[in-house]
Amino acid sequence: MSAQKFPALLLGAALAFLTAFFLIPMTVVLVASLQDKAGGLSIAQYARVLADSYHLAVVLTTFRISIFTTLLCVALAYPLAWYLVRIVRWRWWRRACVILLVIPLFTSNIVRSFGWIVLLGRNGLVNDAAVALGLADRPMRILGTETAILVGMVYVLLPLAVLGIGNALLKVDRALESASDDLGATPLRTFLHITFPLTLPGVVASAVMVFTLATSAYVTPALLSGGRVTVLSMLIFQQYSATFDFSFGGALSIVLLALTLILVGVASRFGKVRT
């Protein structure tokens, strides 16, 4: 067997499978999105997504939630990663914490969102606590708001950010920090000028991952929105399960794909990392 044919043989099955069940279906979606009712070529479906104020609002809501989710995830993940990598002394405690971080990753988004449905409900623990502490006169409606979706999304994606940033912190050469300290820099200055820049590629990579998963998340927003907030993935789901408008569904899908890929591209260039 020639050296050229062998890799083709090894790749053959995987490539054939993905062509049949990934590439062709995605092409079908793209083609459908460019068709009008009569089957002619048309960009009317895209105009419907971007020119209609309701649909545009859904796109904006999706990206607003995704951006806030990303910012909150990074803001919470950095201290936790720092604590686990730099502060914890007992190895068994770090190991226990890592297990606590990973258990949610092994549990479905439904179960994790369900926990928040219970917690954020009108008679849930959060409202009870808010009333007891005098933060609110009576139970607030939290479920079905963007805040609820945000709480759930940050919760679902935070472990990934902690692991990503933690790995970046582990790789930092401590000698550089010592050098900075020896030269008289305050701990804050050392952090801002040495440690943080060194972990930046890891932070950006984690942020990009969180952002992509947040824009495409379906289960968490569907469960915590209570039908009052709609994000892009929910709109796509409706087209394929209720209204059966495959052309419009296709256009929405392509918009979601394009916006995700563009933002990932920009962020990767900014952080000079490959995802």
Partner 1 sequence: MIRRFFVTLIALLTLAYLVLPLVVILGSSVTTTPFLSFPPQGASLKWYATMLHEPGYVSAYATSTMLATSATALAMLLAVPAAIALARYEYAGKRSVHALLSAPMVLPHIVLAAALLQFGGSFGLVRNFPSLLVGHVVIVMPFILQSVMPLFTSGQLALEEASADLGATRLETFFLVTLPQIRPGLVAGAVIAFITSWINVEMSIFNTTAELNTIPVKLFNYVQYTIDPTIAAVSGATIVAAAIAILVLDLSIGLGMLDETP
Binding to partner 1 (CB under 8 A) within 199-218 occurs at 212, 215-216, 218
Number of Cα atoms under 13 Å in the Cβ half of residue 43 = 4
93 binds partner 1 (CB under 8 A): no
Q: Does 76 bind partner 1 (CB under 8 A)?
A: yes
Q: Which is nearer to partner 1, 53 or 131 (CB)?
A: 131
Cβ–Cβ under 8 Å, residues 199 and 168: yes
| Cβ nearer to partner 1, comparing 53 with 106 | 106
What's the CA gap between 164 and 147, in Å, rounded?
Answer: 25
Site for partner 1 in 252-271 (CB under 8 A): 253, 256-257, 260, 264
Spell out the residues 6+ positions from residue 180 whose beta carbon is closer than 8 angstroms to its own: 189, 190, 193, 194
Q: How far apart are CA 183 and CA 187, in angstroms?
A: 11
Tell me: does residue 141 bind partner 1 (CB under 8 A). Answer: no
Spatial distance between the Cα atoms of 10 and 177, rounded to a whole number of angstroms: 47
Nearest to 210 by CA among 51, 46, 77, 79: 77
Total residues found in the chain within this entry: 275
Cβ atoms 252, 218 nearer than 8 A: no
Choice from 109, 127, 190, 230 touching partner 1 (CB under 8 A) = 109
Residue from the set 64, 95, 193, 228 that interacts with partner 1 by CB under 8 A? 95
Q: Is 172 in the site for partner 1 (CB under 8 A)?
A: no
What residues between 13 and 72 interact with partner 1 by CB under 8 A? 13-15, 17-18, 21-26, 28-29, 32
> CB 172 → partner 1: shortest distance, Å?
12
Asked if 131 interacts with partner 1 (CB under 8 A), we say no
CB nearer to partner 1: give 63 or 82.
82
